[in-house]
Chain A
């Protein structure tokens, strides 16, 4: 959201009265802008030895380019308050009828194809108006023009140059002029070097630097007006004394080109000797069908349905009353003569944000007052709530873990590549569907990838809590992300359960116990490896009894079928050798029907737990033994 600073005293004068802070805040609120700050009571910057006059800093909606300057905000509020009518902008060609012309060369298509122009005659600048004019161009360059990539503006003292003008594209070496506020002439290439270190201009250089031709605007005498989007020539620069202003606008986007022109002339033509008149310029651009006079000030005629507006606003306003409301929002509207539902609405050139009758409807609601609308919610149907199955599953695990005495943590999902792999002694995966999602433009090395494991976050949480009494027992149920070629987003989330025990002893049995507990609560039976693999060897009741003493419900029938898990020692570089276990899951036969023709799905390895390898502990700066657990829980859905 852009914030615009306006001189407080001048602004209230423009609104015709003084406001208390609260009164002005309420006005802004109703209109849909926001008073960010009133600098009356704060320390203000000293400019040229004088403290800046008190300002109102006003935040405006990002699509309201007609409020990017003092003049625009004042105009919109005055119209909203009914103090002014929307001005009628008119074209006023010179008395001899001879328009200034700008001929666009075909070469400009190679770099910046579109051109627009306008002249403000007999304008009277004051210091404040002049500064506002410059500031508006900056705001437009920054917002709408996306840092001058889409649109660039140049303004010139027309009395220092002479038409006809040409807009060309030339090799940089052939361009030679003294740029704004410089006395020495240089060519296009030299200028690139000259502004390389310039704090303000350097960021725009890449827009044209590597192009074989640079855009350039000349007058009749080959005086350079500007080299868009970088800099104007010094020769034609405007001053407080300038009376006739030529505005050049170049662009790669046609819509934003004319929009920029509209905003500049609608905001500043009010200072012309004949207010709100603009002198058009003839653009000759036959090669791309853009020959025309600019600017075109014709409001855009459109229609809006009274039924539509009333229906969404919950009102039953007459067409006439809606027209009155809309006039306060800059529209010229009148009831259609042929259709009893339709309003004929003229969208002024300032209101490029209006795309659909929905926008007109919203403005009608703003004029009526959002907080005065009838508040009625019709009840058309009964709704049935439903929880996401994945979240229900996660909640079971979360609650069971907390009830077992573990504390839930919520580390970040983005992490560094090393934390996720090297620090855990894990190799970078080779298979595409195991690879992490990498970020293109992180601001810090902490955010290089989307985690594929919960462990880095758990271990960092312990690291940051070393002052806490030991043992620490923490867990998280959260998503990790892997690449996945087969999907539209080329990636998939996977919900994992992770836990970490940190204390003076290893805690191996504690994470094991937590895993058993969660399995029990999910009705996953504890089975032997042989059972899991479906190997019909003799059932070792004794051994099973010993191991499975704590199994949950369903233990009885867990042996031969149904959901079951077993663990076995595994070599995993994250863990201390011989102190890590893989968790295997046997899934029940797929279909619920008893046809046993379907072979049961193969067992899945869903996770690992064990004592962390001391080298891992060292990297995460953990002095005490630590055991961790991580498993995929989506198999239990």
Chain B
């Protein structure tokens, strides 16, 4: 299903002058101020910053879960800030995967069904086979019929990762994927995430305040009080 963009020079995600404000009861709060960035196909990028600096808000805008007050977000060539909510949903179904801090599995469904769900929503073929394959891959081949409540936090996040990669997304967004896990488990999860990302050639945009995890990404954006400071790449650092 994945369509390869012939023009590899063109960035997968381009953000221009993104500003986001929310109106509170008395005044308006500016959460993001003039954020511009470009992320290329297959790249892995970390967004780091202190709690409350606006990371989650930015991620939500990049993924088209919300629309910015000003500025544009261009994902795979379409300006998602100009799309209707349903058009954005359709785009997400086929192109975008998510991993969340709080896992967000549906408690009523088994591990297998949780992974099948996005495949079905995107009307893909043989959802069950693909879901089994992925759960095997994340090491939960024995736990297919278990519901989230019967799984530990780390196991739940594995299911979530399997779900995120299920529909073969072009781009994967992760919000503090290890935030709710202990160090060891967090380490395992980030290994898995990076490995799968490598295998599938997915573009990865990850929000984290875990410096170690951020360091494993090709590039890092620092955000402070809603403003982007200069992006630094690992390559630049090592060179």
A and B associate: no
